[in-house]
Amino acid sequence: SDKPARNTTAWWREADRKHHLSPFTDYKQLKESEAGARIVTRAEGVWLTDSEGVRILDGMAGLWCVNVGYGRKELAEAAYKQMLELPYYNTFFKTATPPPVELAEKLAEITPAGLDMVFYGSSGSESNDTVARLARFYWKLKGKPEKAHFISRTYAYHGSTMAAASLGGMTPMQEGYGLPLPGFHHVDPPYWFDFGGELDREEFGRQAAKQVEDKILEIGPDKVAAFIGEPIQGAGGVIIPPDSYWPEIQRICRQYDVLLVADEVICGFGRTGYMFASEHFGIEPDMMTMAKGITSGYIPLSGVMVSGEIGRTLVEAGGEFFHGYTYSGHPTACAVALANIDIIEREELVRKVREETGPHLAKRLAELAEHPIVGEVRSLGLIGALEIVQKKRPRTRFPGNGKAGTICRDHCFAHNVVLRAVRDGMVMAPPLTISTEEIDELVSRLRTCLDLTA
């Protein structure tokens, strides 16, 4: 027959087309595309290898998650050891196992002051779903059950489950899916490049924060449970807010007794040159969600950290929190997380990102700002973006609503560097172990692809 031999590129592609429904994929387009999916088979450091033996520079750390880089034996060994000892046991019904407890203590130590208890899940989406229920449960315990509404932002990404996608601000994920659910409201993001107009950056930041206050007053402060935001909106385009933004958001949340939730799923575990970006922006969240970098993506794990006040209320008020996942506190995942945090600390990755590789990326990106189709570059630590424009003055985007970004991204893929396009922006988030030479290589390939896009 003309069926390809098993476990070859052609066979994997055919099986992928026939039997696999991948996330965020146009299945018709994939079916009709000649090449099909690129099959990645191995990786080491920041380099992926595909099934044809081609080496690809991973400028996205997978999906913003492989913080300690690929091929870390310590993580495989931690999983192996834990699987032999106790691969799984639940943490429901007054039982616990050692790894989630040890990790909880560690997380209380490394997260910003005030956060000291954790509720586990397996994905960022689950952690944000937990926030949606936990915030309502908390206010019920406080005798204010009507405080049940949530405010978040356009272009936010908080996950794909129904509540997380409602918190998110991606309209294609909502329209036609019955979302957002009732009680989920959105305001504009602090996205100066597209929405700032003639305003000074800091003034724009204050006005963006004011939208949250206006929304609280519109809904009624007695009805608002929480505001949630990523310190830097990642999947929405690496939107780094003006310095004026977060302190103002915090002041507003405190004034109206609205819980402040930081989604650190991307920003956490060193990405920005701080263990958590909340430290950089001066955010003291009441809850913080984390996933991805907690295990560097080696195994699924997520968590919601809660403040002492929320923790005390849960412990003292009594009443069961009817919520949880089979894999909450999965011992193998938690053992890998502990080994992962150990690597981050031992190799001083956070300091290196803040003092060495982050500034190096910023410097190399600043050179790209001179490119004729680059309208702005921005980065903090090892998360960065550049905006593609047709003309710098007056600033004009290419026609096609994101088409230029897609073209540039496809050039990057063909040049064996993985970057993502968000509308007409290119975003990057390489592993935190990337060397300065590898950053040079990434930026040089990106420059070539910008030339080809122009």
Q: Give the x/- contact pattern for ligand PLP in 28-67, rule: CB under 6 A.
A: -----------------------------------x----
Does position 420 interact with ligand PLP (CB under 6 A)? The reply is no
**Closer by beta carbon to ligand PLP, 129 or else 424:** 129
- Provide the phi-psi class of 371: left if phi over 0, else alpha when psi is between -120 and 50, else beta: beta
- Contact segment (CB under 6 A) with ligand PLP among 67-75, 151-159, 343-351, 446-454 equals 151-159
- Restricted to residues 320-359, the positions that interact with ligand PLP (CB under 6 A) are none
Q: How far is the CB of 240 from ligand PLP (least distance, A)?
A: 14
The answer to whether the bond into 180 is cis (omega within 30° of 0) is: yes
Q: Which helix H or strand E contains 314, and what residues bound it? A: helix 308-317
**Closer by beta carbon to ligand PLP, 266 or else 350:** 266
- Contact segment (CB under 6 A) with ligand PLP among 39-47, 117-125, 130-138, 443-451 equals 117-125
Does position 123 interact with ligand PLP (CB under 6 A)? The reply is yes
- Rule CB under 6 A: choose which of 129, 194, 263, 438 binds ligand PLP: 263
- Restricted to residues 285-324, the positions that interact with ligand PLP (CB under 6 A) are 291
Tokens for 135? Answer: 């915030």
**Closer by beta carbon to ligand PLP, 148 or else 170:** 170
Q: Please tell me the distance from the alpha carbon of residue 297 to that of residue 276, in angstroms, as a whole number.
A: 17
The residue among 52, 23, 21 whose CA lies nearest residue 35 is 52
Q: How far is the CB of 395 from ligand PLP (least distance, A)?
A: 28
- Contact segment (CB under 6 A) with ligand PLP among 68-76, 152-160, 327-335, 425-433 equals 152-160
Does position 266 interact with ligand PLP (CB under 6 A)? The reply is yes
Backbone angles phi, psi at 189, to 5 degrees: -80, 160
How would you classify the pairing of strands 302-307 and 417-418? unpaired
CA distances from 20 to 14, 50, 150 (A): 10, 18, 35
Helix, coil or strand: residue 383: strand
Q: Please tell me the distance from the alpha carbon of residue 363 to that of residue 261, in angstroms, as a whole number.
A: 32
- Restricted to residues 156-215, the positions that interact with ligand PLP (CB under 6 A) are 157-159
How would you classify the pairing of strands 420-422 and 47-50? unpaired
CA distances from 240 to 60, 229, 233 (A): 17, 12, 7
Does position 234 interact with ligand PLP (CB under 6 A)? The reply is yes
- Rule CB under 6 A: choose which of 43, 235, 361, 404 binds ligand PLP: 235
Tell me which amino acid residue 380 is. L
The answer to whether the bond into 190 is cis (omega within 30° of 0) is: no
User: Nearest-CB residue to ligand PLP?
Assistant: 124
- Contact segment (CB under 6 A) with ligand PLP among 26-34, 103-111, 230-238, 400-408 equals 230-238
The residue among 69, 60, 77, 62 whose CA lies nearest residue 338 is 77
Does position 248 interact with ligand PLP (CB under 6 A)? The reply is no
| Residues that bind ligand PLP in the complex, under the rule CB under 6 A | 63, 123-125, 128, 157-159, 230, 234-235, 263, 265-266, 291
